[in-house]
Structures are given as C-alpha cells and as structure tokens.
Amino acid sequence: MGINPPLITPIHMSAAYEFPDAEAAAGIFGLEVDGHAYSRLGNPTLNVLEERVAQIDGGVAALSASTGQAAVTLAILTLVEAGDNVVASNELFGGSWSLLGATLKRFGIETRFVSPEDPENFDRATDGRTRLYFGETLPNPRLRIFPIAEVAGIGARHGVPLIVDNTLQPFTCRPFEHGAAVTVYSGTKYLGGHGAALGGLIVDSGNFDWASSDRHPVMTDPDPAYGNVVWGERSRRLPDTRGRSSYLFKARETLLRDLGMSLSPFNAWLILQGIETLALRMPAHSRNAKRVAEHLTGHPKIVAVRHPALAEGIEAEHVERYLGGGFGPMVTVELEGGRAAGARFIEALRLFSHVSNVGDVRSLATHPASTTHRQLPEADLLAAGITQGSVRLSVGLEHPDDLLHDLDQALAAV
C-alpha cells in the first residue's frame, strides 16, 4: 500500500542530503544537476515557501533568507561591488536606511538617497555605476505610496532594475505588473501574520534580462568565487524554478553560501501557515486601519494622521493605481506635545501592544524616532516623515470598536 501525501507541507529538519552516487554529487556541486546538498543552500520545505511566494507575486522564482533584513541585503549585494552605487528612496524603514547609508558605505558602495515625490530624482542621480533602484511600496512609517511604474520606467531607459520592498502590501500590491524587477519581503510581517517566526524572501519577476545587460558585469563576467562561472549562462541549464532566475541562482550559490543567511525549515513552515490566510487577512487589516485613521482625524490632541485612505491629489491616484482600491494596514499619527506626548499615549494603550514589530494579527504601536529610526539624524527623520511626536500603529484584526475605544482612552491620558 502506498503512503498518502500529507495535507500540510512537512518540515524537513536535515542539515545534509545523501547522494545516490559520486556522479550525482559531482553534478550538483558542478551546477549541472539540480538537487539538494546542504540546507544552507536549499531545503525541500524552503522550496515550497519560495514557490508559493513567487506565485503570489507572479514571479518566476524566489529565494528565502533568515530575515527580511537578510533578504534586502542579499538582493542588493548580489548586484553591486565596491565603486558601484544604489539610488534609493529617502522614505525607508530604519534598518534599510542604516544598511544602505552606513553599512554598505564601509564596503565602498554608495547610496544616493532621493525623494520619490519627484520620480525624475532617480534619473538625475543615475550614472554609469548605478546598479539598482530601491524603494518601499508603502514606506514605513511615511505611508506615501512609492511611484513604482514611474521609477521602473526610468530604470528601463538606463538598464537599471527596480527592487521594491513590498513587505507591508503582500497580495494587495503587485509591483511586477508596474515594471518592478524584484520584490523583497520580511516574511516575519504580513506573510506570516503571527509574529512567531523570522524570515525573508526575494522574488524575481523574470522581466529583467540580467544576462545580457552591460550594466551588470557580475552576471556576465566570469565569477572567480565559483570557478569562473558565468551566472547568466550556467543557470539557464537547470530545469527547476531556481534555474529560471540567473539573478537568484547567483544569490543562492555565492552570497547565501558565503554569508549563511539561511532560513530555518521550521520558520519556513510557520510562514507557510500564515500565507494560507493572507487573502483574508490583508483586506481585513485595511478595513480596520481605515476606520482608525478616519476616527483619529481631527482629534484635538493629534496634529496629523497619515494613511492611504486619506491621501489626496497624485498620492490618491497612486493609492488607486497600486493598491487597487485597498488602503493598507498601517496608520501613523503625530501627537501634539512631541516625544513626551507620544510616550504617554503608547504607555496608556491596553489593546495595542508596545513592540517594534508590525504585521501581526494583533494591533501594535511604537515610537519610531526612539526605536526603529533612532539612528537617523533629525533632518533625515523629517525627510522620512517622522517627527518626535510620531506614533506608528500596526492595526490588527481585533473588533474595530475595541480598537477605537483603546485609542480614545489612551488619548485621554495624554
């Protein structure tokens, strides 16, 4: 009697895999045959997660990593060398800002931060050593939709791929349909939805020809890190989903191999459980966040409320174009009274948890200027839309009446 297949993806907790013979082992390590050798490079459970996230975005392949920050790092480092530069939005998550503005600088990689309010800023900052553009679909906590198509179009003229961090809008925004070449995710956030597991994903759209672009010698020149292989040629020989992306094939076989940013199979399994309800959760988050934003607008103790549902002009057009009528799960409020008022407000919340994470089914709150963006100078905080009185709300799936009551009682304590 045969064994019926499991309904739930199994967790393959194995560091290594037995080869059937010496020839097969040589073929796998020689990149001629697809197969697993060591879980630092790939694992059956991870493969399922990668395939599903690629399908969600409409991409040809995906690569998992230990965290969202690891995914962003791998996505960028795969394309750059010392002397190259990146043109990035100045409206970014604090960790990405630090990576691009400080850490990569130590390795001779320059980041040119520009305002996405005028997409042509990306064109003006581009030169012959620009390897990629980088932005966030819904910048955290600025919450102004990134002009994906406009920047991707500029990149197409120069042969520069656009990498979009779509962490806050999985399923509801599809950057590939607007010209983005790559998406990155923190799977810790809305993909998982439960806050129980760290993880990251990189997805290749399949729309950018990495192998024929003169701008990307890392893909077209022999790579001494792996026997002078030319990644754009060798990766096309393999039949599986990893073989359909020369970019991710290089990322897997060089940087993931060398830096060891591998995702745990157990964490991959946890994120897979969250993905099963993603299509239900994201619209519900959006509805609750819209209720919260509208309720707080005009409150005498609040200077400003930011949420895509409140956007006007070109920003409202971007919301309709890129979110398809949805509004997103995040709300940022600026309290009168600055940092002290923000602290009192957060400490008075009862249903909202005070944590630095976002993307849980439960509601969360934090003060960006003293936590996630603490390392930024004051001028850069303001450029990112953050004041000392800003509080970021990750609106969960609790009953909206309970959420509004908690916010009202906390504001009364300010």
Angle value at C-alpha 131, between 127 and 137, nearest 5 degrees? 110
Given pLDDT bands bounded at 50, 70 and 90, which one contains residue 156? very high
- What percent of the chain has pLDDT above 70? 92
Q: What mean pLDDT is reported for the chain?
A: 90
In single-letter form, the type of residue at position 141 comes to P
Residue-wise pLDDT tens digits, 20-66: 888 888 888 877 778 888 889 999 999 999 999 999 999 999 999 99
Highest mean pLDDT among 112-116, 233-237, 371-375: 112-116
What is the pLDDT averaged over residues 158-175? Answer: 96
Q: Give domain limits for the chain.
A: 22-272, 278-412
Judge whether residue 354 has pLDDT over 90.
Answer: yes
pLDDT at residue 51, as a whole number: 95
Residue-wise pLDDT tens digits, 332-346: 999 888 878 888 899
Sign of the CA dihedral running 347, 361, 390, 327: negative
Domain 278-412 is found in CATH 3.30.930.10: no
Given pLDDT bands bounded at 50, 70 and 90, which one contains residue 77? very high
Fold match between domain 22-272 and domain 278-412: no
Secondary structure of residue 276 in the 3-state scheme: coil
Q: Thinking of the domain 22-272, which architecture would CATH place it in? A: 3-Layer(aba) Sandwich (3.40)
Q: What's the rounded Cα separation, in Å, for the pair 79 and 218?
A: 6
Q: What are phi and psi of 265, to 5 degrees?
A: -60, -35
User: What's the distance, CA 241 to chain centroid?
Assistant: 21
pLDDT at residue 372, as a whole number: 59
pLDDT at residue 122, as a whole number: 98
Residue pair 152/178 in contact (Cβ under 8 Å)? The answer is yes
Judge whether residue 320 has pLDDT over 90.
Answer: yes
List, in order, residues 6 or more apart from 7 with CB less than 8 Å away. Answer: none
User: What's the distance, CA 283 to chain centroid?
Assistant: 19
Q: Max Cα separation, the chain?
A: 74
Q: What are phi and psi of 314, to 5 degrees?
A: -65, -30
Given pLDDT bands bounded at 50, 70 and 90, which one contains residue 242? very low
Q: Helix 278-296 and helix 400-412: axis angle, to 10°? A: 40
Q: What are phi and psi of 105, to 5 degrees?
A: -60, -35
Given pLDDT bands bounded at 50, 70 and 90, which one contains residue 241? very low
Judge whether residue 236 has pLDDT over 60.
Answer: no
| Other beta carbons within 10 Å of 15 | 8
Residue-wise pLDDT tens digits, 295-316: 999 999 999 999 999 999 999 9
In single-letter form, the type of residue at position 208 comes to F
pLDDT at residue 240, as a whole number: 46
Given pLDDT bands bounded at 50, 70 and 90, which one contains residue 243? very low
Judge whether residue 78 has pLDDT over 70.
Answer: yes
Give 390's strand partners: 334
List, in order, residues 6 or more apart from 218 with CB less than 8 Å away. Answer: 78, 79, 80, 81, 231, 250
